[in-house]
Structure 1
Amino acid sequence: MSLYGTMRTGVSGMNAQANRLSTVADNIANANTTGYKKASTQFSSLILPTTGGSYNSGGVNTDVRYSISAQGTFTYTTSATDLAINGKGFFIVSGTDGQEYMTRAGAFTVMDDGSLQNSSGFKLMGYEYSSTEDPTIVVNGFDGLQEINLASGALNATGSTAGALDVNLPSNEVAGYSKSTSLVAYDSQGNTRLIEFNYVKTGDNAWTVEATYEGTTIAGPEPMTFDAEGKLLTPSPASITTAPQTINGAELSALEISIGGSSQLASPFDVSNGKINGNGASKVTGYEISEDGVVSLKYDNGQLTPKFRIAMASVQSPDNLKPLPGNIYAQSNDSGVVVMGYAGTNGYGAIVSGALEDSNVDIAEELTSMIESQRNYTANSKVFQTGSELMEVLVNLKR
């Protein structure tokens, strides 16, 4: 047996336990870090060939592994922009270097510039929302992503385009009888515009309807004909469309007003349904993020306006991703290529708004590992110390 080999093996064991203690220290330090995935040290033996009946002590190698695919528990919060992923996938964030990374740390906050940044300063990325189709995803890369920015939604006004006005016209009135009602519409700048509708009886079961704005006709007069039961006959228009107007620099769009539910019965004039879309200038009061990652602005008038769709990413071997400072991950040679998608589709998990994913560190397990490492380190130091003492005896024999 080589005394030098004994000492080398002791040093190898001490280095291995030092590596284990380093991962334990990191795990304990990050036990409360949102989205943190614990590291662990794996050991493998290093055996040297035995020659001439003489044993050559080898040593031990270590390899650090990360439990990135192991999901942590959830802590629920009152902030809609605190996000967690229930299942597979990663948020895509952008750093100050302009590069995209993956993370499970979803403690996002709306900054002064409208961006959503997590506690490490990385900005959430996604796609602009479309109500007609999902954005085309570059499956194997981050191309096409944009920063999710909510600054443009500070104030919102939506011009009116359509509505409904269903009334009952009194059948027992004589020809020439007229009655008016009105609807409030919104122009492109959120100003209210009063549209007046005037009904005139022209004969038995026959009426006209005319729409005016400030005394100027913008639709009609349109004839309305009813059957013997007081229902609007099919040849009569089911809706009337007003002409578009430019008012003090703002645009009042053409309005398609449905009148198909109107009736003519022996009852006083009455409005059974009167509504119009659009809204005046309204401030953002909050945000709402759905399970499929649609980010909507919530206005003080109760309206929800979808703005963005959060993108998600994954790889074939998440545990082999490359961890980087800031609790983020980058693709490595062993992780596989990045695959993009949306929450709730193709195996990706659902986004939980108002929640954060806890670290998957078990403190009790880490303390046990720390005690084991301490004892093993001490034992390996005894091996080195014994070899050193025997080496000193051997040197003294020559004297």
Structure 2
Amino acid sequence: MSLYGTMRTGVSGMNAQSNRLSTVAENIANANTTGYKRASTEFSSMILPSGNGSYNSGGVQTEVRYSISQQGATTFTTSASDLAIDGGGFFIVEGANGQEYLTRAGSFVPDSQGNLVNAAGFTLMGYEYEAGVDPTVVVNGFDGLTRVNLASDGLIAAGSTKGSMGANLPSGAANGDVSTTSLVVYDSQGNTRILDFNYTKTDDNEWTLNIVDRVSNEPLTVPPATLVFDAAGALTTAATVTLDGSLISPIDGTGAVLNDITIDFSKTTQLGYAFSADGGDIDGNAPSKVAGYQIDSDGIVYVKYENGELDPRYRIALANVQSPDKLKPESGNVYSQGVDSGVIITGFAGSGDFGEILSGALESSNVDIAEELTAMIESQRNYTANSKVFQTGSELLEVLVNLKR
């Protein structure tokens, strides 16, 4: 059996080196594939039992290992939708079959429907954004995820609902003196309305505030608000006033309404200084077109309008497992949960073990071409050496057969 065993061992060695050459070929072919993780062939010996006076040669077996946890170099691009993860975690993407996968390939671009899709055709997934609320982290599941869609909404406007106005009222003013400032607000169709804030001194440390629409001269504070200050000039009455938008008429021909607006006056003072206002602040906006989008390091996707406003729409979800190198590779440079990879845990960039998201960047392949060429030469020489073992065993077996002749 020793000659047959020698030939069998030689074949085992050639098969093992063929597997190694296969991984080398795959690595070199994907040296420029975004987010590709290097494959390597690990060898282990196979020992067969031997008796006294004889030896049964064993062989070698191989296992393919993927360096999924090894991060590739970061290259920067000019596209805001190109994404890379600086640290742990994977993007969650959806395939054409509706199944979710993990990937580090973040070369996303909007498709014809506005969905962010990478070069392999997988769609980026995330959660719809809600201010001040983090979606529930899901263990071993992808519940609640939706496609990240950046389809243009055309023109958009928002009516004002809250704002602030700070001012200093001169403590030396005489009763009946009036100081005025103004604030631009937006109705439900984005039309601008100018509101005048008229402060009238009525007594020591006491003023009334009457807010009127400049065009119609209709008041929004009925009765006028009363502002009372202490001896140090600090406001002691309520720091907010709600304006009743229904008290003023809509702009002719528009049908637009003015929302009720809550104004914060907490920064109002009465000191021995001339009247001065801080300019105020208001939410809402005039009609504006979508001009683009941007993604921050926390994975929040904003739609950007021509007026500079940013509207948060989605939060990109990340996922990870306990043993990333045990994930199961699939076509398209994506991974699915493996038997030994551990459960999938979703989360968000910058939290826990998840890295930050880099916009305008891509993660390169972690393949080292010089290392692969060295492995190719080694495999070629080892394959040739194993073939010599097989050839020698075959020649010796032929000699043995010819002894009968």
Q: Same fold (TM over 0.5)?
A: yes
Q: Supply the AA of the counterpart residue of 1:289.
A: I
1:398 match: secondary structure: coil
Which residue of 2 is the match for residue 297 of structure 1?
303
- Cα distance, 1:6 vs structure 2: 2.1
Deviation at 1:345, TM superposition (A): 1.6
Change beyond 3 A, Cα 1:320–1:226:
closer
Higher mean alpha-carbon deviation, 355-364 vs 294-303, is at 294-303
Partner of 2:12: 12
Query: 1:227–1:195: structure 2 CA closer, same or farther, 3 Å change rule?
Result: closer
| Partner residue, 1:135 | 135
Does the 8 A contact of 1:222 with 1:240 survive in 2? no
Give a deviation string over 1:220-275, Cα, whole Å, max 9, x none: 3515466798947634x544321133844434211123345556789876544333
Aligned to 1:378: 384
Structure 2 match to 1:112: 112
Aligned amino acid, residue 279 of structure 2: N
Give the Å deviation of 1:147.
1.1
Q: Give me the whole-angstrom Cα distance separating, in 2, the residues matched to 1:29 and 1:342.
A: 33
Distance 1:74 1:266, change over 3 A: closer
Question: 2:183, 2:195 within 8 Å by CA — same for their partners in 1?
Answer: yes
Secondary structure in 2 aligned to 1:218? coil
- Alpha-carbon separation, structure 1, partners of 2:230 and 2:374: 89
**Correspondences of 1:229-308 after superposition (within 5 Å):** 231=233, 234-235=236-237, 238-245=239-246, 247=250, 248-259=254-265, 261-262=267-268, 271-308=277-314
Among residues 321, 331, 334, which one is paired with 2:337 in the alignment?
Answer: 331
The TM-score, its normalising length taken from structure 2, stands at 0.87
Q: Residues 357-379 of structure 1: CA distance to partner in whole angstroms, max 9, x if unpaired?
A: 11111111111100000001111
Give the aligned length: 398
The answer (yes or no) to whether the contact 1:37–1:360 under 8 Å persists in 2 is: yes
Q: Alignment identity in percent?
A: 61
> Which stretch of structure 1 is more off in the superposition, 140-149 or 209-218?
209-218
Corresponding residue of 2:89: 89
**Mapped contact 2:205–2:231 kept (Cα < 8 A):** no
Q: Does 1:215 pair with 2:217? A: yes
Q: What CA distance in whole angstroms lies between the structure 2 residues aligned with 1:56 and 1:310?
A: 58
Is 1:108–1:116's contact at 8 Å kept on the other side of the alignment? Answer: yes
Counterparts in 2 of 1:66-77, with a 5 A limit?
66-77=66-77
Whose strand fraction is larger, Structure 1's or Structure 2's? 1
Letter of the structure 2 residue corresponding to residue 297 of structure 1: V
After superposition, give the CA deviation of every residue in 1:293-317 in whole Å (9 maximum; x if it has no partner).
2222232222222221111111111
Distance apart, 1:123 and its partner CA: 0.9
Deviation for aligned residue 1:340: 1.6
- Higher alpha-carbon deviation: 220-229 or 151-160: 220-229
CA distance in 1, matches of 2:276, 2:351: 49
Secondary structure, counterpart of 1:41 in structure 2: strand
Q: Give the whole-Å Cα distance in 2 for the aligned partners of 1:44 and 1:260.
A: 74
Structure 1 CA distance, aligned partners of 2:207 and 2:75? 64
Distance in 2 (alpha carbons) for counterparts of 1:339 and 1:205 = 60
Measured in 1, the distance between the counterparts of 2:171 and 2:338 equals 79
Q: Which residue of 2 aligns with 1:32?
A: 32
Question: The residue matched to 1:219 in structure 2 has which SS?
Answer: coil
Q: Is the 8 A contact 1:169 1:268 kept in 2?
A: yes
Is contact 2:109-2:117 (8 Å) kept? yes
CA distance in 2: counterparts of 1:153 and 1:28, whole angstroms: 43
* Alpha-carbon distance in 1 for matches of 2:85, 2:142: 19
**Structure 1 residues 154, 111: closer, same or farther in 2, change over 3 A?**
farther
Query: What SS does the corresponding residue of 1:379 show, helix, strand or coil?
Result: helix
The CA deviation at 1:285 is: 2.8
Using the alignment, how far apart are the partners of 1:48 and 1:272 within structure 2? Answer: 88
* Gap runs ≥5 in structure 2: none
* Consecutive unaligned residues in structure 1, runs of 5 or more: none
- Calculate the aligned-residue CA RMSD, in Å: 2.8
TM-score computed with the length of structure 1 as normaliser? 0.89
Residues 206, 223 of structure 1: 8 Å contact kept: no
- Is the Cα contact below 8 Å between 2:240 and 2:265 reproduced in 1? yes
3-state secondary structure, aligned to 1:216: coil
Residues 1:52 and 1:297: Cα distance change in structure 2 (over 3 Å): same
Q: Which of these residues, 377, 394, 398, is aligned with residue 400 of structure 2?
A: 394
CA contact (8 A) 1:205 1:230 kept: no
Provide the rounded CA distance (Å) in 2 between the counterparts of 1:227 and 1:148: 51
- AA paired with 1:244? G
In the TM superposition, what is the alpha-carbon distance from 1:79 to its structure 2 partner? 2.2
